[in-house]
Amino acid sequence: MSSKPIGIFDSGVGGLSIWKEIQDLLPLESTLYLSDSKHAPYGPKGQKAILKLSIKNTEYLIDQGCKLIVVACNTATTNAIDYLRTNYSVPFIGIEPAIKPAALKSKTKSVGILATKGTLSSHLFHKTSRIYSNDLVVIEQVGDGIVELIEQGELNSKKMRNLLSTYLNPMIKAEIDYLVLGCTHYHFLMPILKELLPSNVNIIDSAKAVARQTKSVLKLNKLSNNVREKGSSQFYTNGTQTVIADLLKFENVMLEKLDF
């Protein structure tokens, strides 16, 4: 079992940010990444639809023999991870907006969260947010349209800049000193976000934390790969290959189109 791959899925290319951290931290592990770009964005869909897609992705990865699954999508995690953990025997790692570190570190007591509608309206997000937002102003902003642009490869277009300015300006006015990225796709916007935000605003992205958590859950379940050779990385997408291929261009990986 320990030489089997780690399965990673997202609604598209966003989870590649997590794949990269996992690969850097756990080079001996093989990974299988599933990009469900055909059904992106998940964010505006209802809970039932997000759950259905998450089940489909999970079952595909389990059928491929994955020993652990990383739900590299905040929207799928907040809407489906409880169900997945209850109904499948493989361990799951998820990702949620990291409101806790932002709340604990904020000096201005004003924090921004940029995430999808599906994440911000989920029960799981509300539960966490309630615990940490007592003495805090939390500006929640749905990132409508951002995932679609990233899936089209528009990481730095005029349209993207305008959209981000519209979403960030109220946060800047409210003097946030932390911006929590609540969607794995937004990782790729780090350079423009830094440009658009005042220099005192810290951006929290949880990709590294997810990789560390993956490492400890593998260990705990005695699933770490003990074969002393570098793992392989395989990518499947059911959307167009251009954007994913471009984001992976410096990596030595296998990319395949999947009818899914």
Q: Which amino acid is at 142?
A: V
Q: Which residue has the tokens 């951290």?
A: 21
- Looking at 30, 35, 58, 74, which residue binds ligand DGL (CB under 6 A)? 74
State in angstroms the smallest separation of the CB of 138 from ligand DGL. Answer: 18
Q: Which of 13, 93, 113, 183 is catalytic?
A: 183
The number of helix segments (H) and strand segments (E) in the chain equals: 11, 10
Burial class from Cβ neighbours inside 10 Å (0-12, 13-18, 19+) for residue 74 reads buried
For 146-257, strand residue ranges (E) read 178-182, 202-204, 233-237, 254-257
Active site residue 73: yes
Q: Which is nearer to ligand DGL, 200 or 242 (CB)?
A: 242
Q: Which residue has the tokens 């990702």?
A: 95
Stretch that binds ligand DGL, among 5-13, 24-32, 99-107, 156-164 (CB under 6 A): 5-13
Q: Which is nearer to ligand DGL, 23 or 74 (CB)?
A: 74
Tokens of 232: 């392989």
State in angstroms the smallest separation of the CB of 153 from ligand DGL. Answer: 15
Cis-peptide into 101, omega within 30 deg: no
Count of residues in the chain: 260
Q: Which residue has the tokens 């392989």?
A: 232
Q: Which of residues 33-52 bind ligand DGL (CB under 6 A)?
A: 40-43
Q: Which of residues 221-250 bind ligand DGL (CB under 6 A)?
A: none
The number of residues that bind ligand DGL (CB under 6 A) is 17
d(CA 81, CA 222): 22
If DSSP codes are grouped into helix, strand and coil, which group holds residue 238?
coil
Q: Which of residues 173-212 bind ligand DGL (CB under 6 A)?
A: 183-185
State in angstroms the smallest separation of the CB of 28 from ligand DGL. Answer: 26
Does position 119 interact with ligand DGL (CB under 6 A)? The reply is yes
Supply the residues annotated as catalytic.
73, 183
Residues that bind ligand DGL (CB under 6 A): 10-12, 14, 40-43, 73-75, 116, 119, 147, 183-185
